[in-house]
Homo-oligomer: A and B are copies of this chain.
Amino acid sequence: MSARAHPVDDDGEISPVDTSSPRQANTPYVHKVEVPPKQNLFNEFMYTFKETFFHDDPLRHFKDQSKSKKLMLGIQSVFPVIEWARKYNLKMFRGDLIAGLTIASLCIPQDIGYAKLASLDPKYGLYSSFVPPLVYACMGSSKDIAIGPVAVVSLLLGTLLRAEIDPNTNPNEYLRLAFTSTFFAGVTQAALGFFRLGFLIDFLSHAAVVGFMGGAAITIALQQLKGFLGINKFTKKTDIIAVLSSVISSAHHGWNWQTILISASFLIFLLISKFIGKKNKKLFWIPAIAPLVSVIISTFFVYITRADKKGVQIVKHLDKGLNPSSLRLIYFSGDYLLKGFRIGVVSGMVALTEAVAIGRTFAAMKDYQIDGNKEMVALGAMNVIGSMTSCYVSTGSFSRSAVNFMAGCQTAVSNIIMSIVVLLTLLFLTPLFKYTPNAILAAIIINAVIPLVDVNATILIFKIDKLDFVACMGAFFGVIFVSVEIGLLIAVGISFAKILLQVTRPRTAILGKIPGTSVYRNINQYPEATRIPGVLTIRVDSAIYFSNSNYVRERIQRWLTDEEEMVKAASLPRIQFLIIEMSPVTDIDTSGIHALEDLYKSLQKRDIQLVLANPGPPVINKLHVSHFADLIGHDKIFLTVAEAVDSCSPKLSDEV
């Protein structure tokens, strides 16, 4: 037996065994196991606190350093630029220069279009690609993220703002509320980071984000039909039904064929260039510069043909000059303050989700650590400063970051290059955009948001986790059929529901013995596994907390009842022992202990012995402290199911 049972423990979990109990004492194969050392309250609390808020141990570098060094490190941790700037060299600059120029060419047309999504003047899109990237370059810790306005956030912000103020009737209040929201978006982001609450954004599950993004992308594409088809009267709603009906209703006279010609042909051009980029990774720059190229060509084309006279809508006027200060425009009082705050929190969180996701992805690719919370402080500061310099909520853009990465960016300097290019554009080139047709911007945006509809990811989600899929679809349809807000609500709601489900309804399984071994496994999974007559073995697959303790108890009792009925029907020996395999029970709380006590009481009434197999260290601790171990008897707690069964049914022990 000893040789056999020896590596029983290879699962790395052994339940402490009270050797005072005679049975255990004189069995050779039982390991002495020390109960984990008792921790004092303070340490225990500090540990939990640290793991909750400082699990990444941000202050590790500060340990045993001189005061001045600590100060230096402190400044560095806020402005990582100080650290990497020292090691910066020409080779890095080459990479950053190319990457910077590429994303600049990509961002300028996008910015103008995205600003329209937020019902803002095009220039604010460019403003938002000038200041925020500079701030981020100094404070951010990601090397690959490309900062600026993004489609989804622009759409969300626009929807939320329009719900409060009509941008056409009073554009001034609208603009002010936009800056107010941006300010509070930044404050929210910085606060989350500063108070180490970054983990809160994890509650927006990956699946929900995929669905939300996909829905938003489609909504955005639909919005572009206005510019794409050259429609004048267009619905203010964003849901698919309202948009399509307004498109169809304007089919007869509302469409403009010249516009359609331009947008369609250039969209095809963009798609082809994207295809080429996909086929040959070396040619990534073709899809990257294609938008700017098409802007230049189409603008020139419209200029010479004066197509604008024939109803092709153009950007018309784009102010020259740099970001004016907008500090005095922010509402710091009145009821717009509250509205701005609400909008800011929502759009800030969504922006954060996108940026952090990007940061993580590329950090994993190049294997460098980014401190999520520090990142949030950087993004927050960037938006706060942005809100005071006529920028609206900006964050990391999926598409541009990918280009940035492929173009071989080395540091955040690529963002600086980009913002310098934007600066020059603002100073000298804006007049050239006068004849740029809105159609081309529509084409560019449609082309830009297509990848956000991630069909493969959705299929994978469906395969892996059905509930995730429900969350994904809920968000998706919520966005396209109702609104971005509702979609977001649904996404968050279902994500939370999933957590509740996880903590209220853990799995349980009846274990059987695999013939010829002493292995006990789920009989549903291993049909050949055989029950031991008179013994019922149940595994509980979760920590037992107040949220599931009653369910676990009732579920075990139901297993027992079913089994007893089955046994009676088959006139087999009655159940005498109930073995609970506790290996996966990572923890237990007061309610859990009470549930076990209730179970024990009801089992006593039925004259059934309760036996525990392999409870983990925290669990065994609490079983001892609560004297539950004394209640059921220390000799009822075993290393493994096999040993438990041996002791329960001596008549079987020789078989084993």
Where the two chains meet, the residues of A that have a C-beta atom closer than 8 Å to any C-beta of B are: 3-14, 31, 34, 36-37, 41, 44-45, 48, 51-52, 55-57, 199, 202-203, 205-207, 360-361, 363-367, 369, 372, 460-461, 463-468, 495, 498-507, 511, 514, 517-522, 524-526, 539, 541-543, 545-551, 554-555, 557-558, 561, 581, 583-584, 586-587, 589-591, 593-594, 597-599, 601-602, 605-606, 614, 616-618, 622, 625-626, 639-643
Smallest CB-CB separation from A37: which chain B residue?
A: B525
Evaluate contact between B519 and A12: CB separation under 8 angstroms: yes
State the CA gap A369–B639 with chains docked (Å): 31
Tell me whether A558 and B598 are in contact in the complex, defined as CB-CB below 8 angstroms, given that A11-B614, A465-B590, A642-B10 are known contacts: no
Evaluate contact between A41 and B466: CB separation under 8 angstroms: yes
Evaluate contact between B207 and A7: CB separation under 8 angstroms: no
Tell me whether A5 and B8 are in contact in the complex, defined as CB-CB below 8 angstroms, given that A55-B505, A548-B202 are known contacts: no
Evaluate contact between A583 and B369: CB separation under 8 angstroms: no
Give 12 new A-B contacts, CB below 8 A, not counting A10-B641, A205-B589, A541-B616. A7-B642, A12-B520, A31-B519, A48-B467, A48-B505, A52-B504, A367-B602, A367-B606, A463-B625, A464-B622, A468-B590, A584-B616
Smallest CB-CB separation from A501: which chain B residue?
A: B52
Evaluate contact between A605 and B367: CB separation under 8 angstroms: yes
Copies in the complex: 2
What secondary structure prevails in chain A residues at the interface with B?
helix
Tell me whether A550 and B360 are in contact in the complex, defined as CB-CB below 8 angstroms, given that A205-B589, A601-B365 are known contacts: yes
Q: Hey, which chain B residues are within 8 Å of A499, CB to CB? A: 499-500, 503, 545, 547
Evaluate contact between B465 and A517: CB separation under 8 angstroms: no
State the CA gap A643–B601 with chains docked (Å): 41
Q: Hey, which chain B residues are within 8 Å of A561, CB to CB? A: 369
Evaluate contact between A206 and B557: CB separation under 8 angstroms: no
Name the contact of A12 in the complex, choosing from B581, B591, B616 (C-beta under 8 A). B581
Smallest CB-CB separation from A462: which chain B residue?
A: B41
Q: Which of A203, A547, A639 has the most CB of B within 10 A?
A: A547
Name the contact of A517 in the complex, choosing from B7, B51, B501, B503 (C-beta under 8 A). B7
Q: Hey, which chain B residues are within 8 Å of A498, CB to CB? A: 545
